[in-house]
Amino acid sequence: MPVNNSEQFVAYALLYYAFALIGNYKSVYIYSKLKTHIMASLVTGFGGFFFRAADPSALSAWYEQHFGINSMMSGEPWLQQGGPTVFAPFKATTNYFGRPDQQFMLNLRVSDLDTLLEQLQAAGVRIDESRHNDEIGKFAWVYDPEDNKIELWEPGDES
């Protein structure tokens, strides 16, 4: 059930909220699923990624040089290919991101992990020795100049 405007969203939400209030468990479940569907039809993807940096200009230039991600400093937004995006909060105690104070980890989909790693190594980028391969794909990790761990992912055939 696509939602075409905010009035339609409000109407559907109120209708199903009313059913949930006077109905049974099944009505609450239907309302919950509908609400999720409506929100998913309104949110179409990531529009940006914003984070703090000690030197925003230098870090922007680094990401553009090594990954082709142009920042808004260049005047044009980065246009990326479509594909799966994972949104996964981790426990506050995770060590998966590297240093404990790193609050996020950027995961970049890549088309040829081995070639990219060769290029990054030649450019002097710090590369983690760990690698992981499974049915989801191939993974490697690198670090930007401000020591943010970055996950590189070459999707497998089934991803």
Rounded to whole angstroms, how far apart are CA atoms 37 and 29? 12
pTM for this model (two decimals): 0.73
CB-based contacts of 39: which residues, under 8 Å, 6+ apart? none
Q: Which of 69, 66, 45, 81 is nearest to 126 (CA)?
A: 66
Asked if residue 66 belongs to a domain, the reply is yes
| CATH assignment at residue 113 | 3.10.180.10
pLDDT, averaged across the chain: 83
pLDDT of residue 1: 47
pLDDT of residue 124: 97
Q: pLDDT class for 82, splitting at 50, 70, 90?
A: confident
Number of domains observed in the structure of the chain: 2
Asked if residue 123 belongs to a domain, the reply is yes
Residue 67 sits in the same domain as residue 21: no
Average pLDDT over residues 118-134: 97
Give the structural domain span for 15: 6-42
Residue 33 sits in the same domain as residue 60: no
Asked if residue 1 belongs to a domain, the reply is no
Residue 99 sits in the same domain as residue 122: yes
Residue 32 sits in the same domain as residue 99: no
Residue 21 sits in the same domain as residue 77: no
> To which residue do tokens 């070459």 refer?
154
Has residue 87 got a pLDDT over 80?
yes
Has residue 91 got a pLDDT over 80?
yes
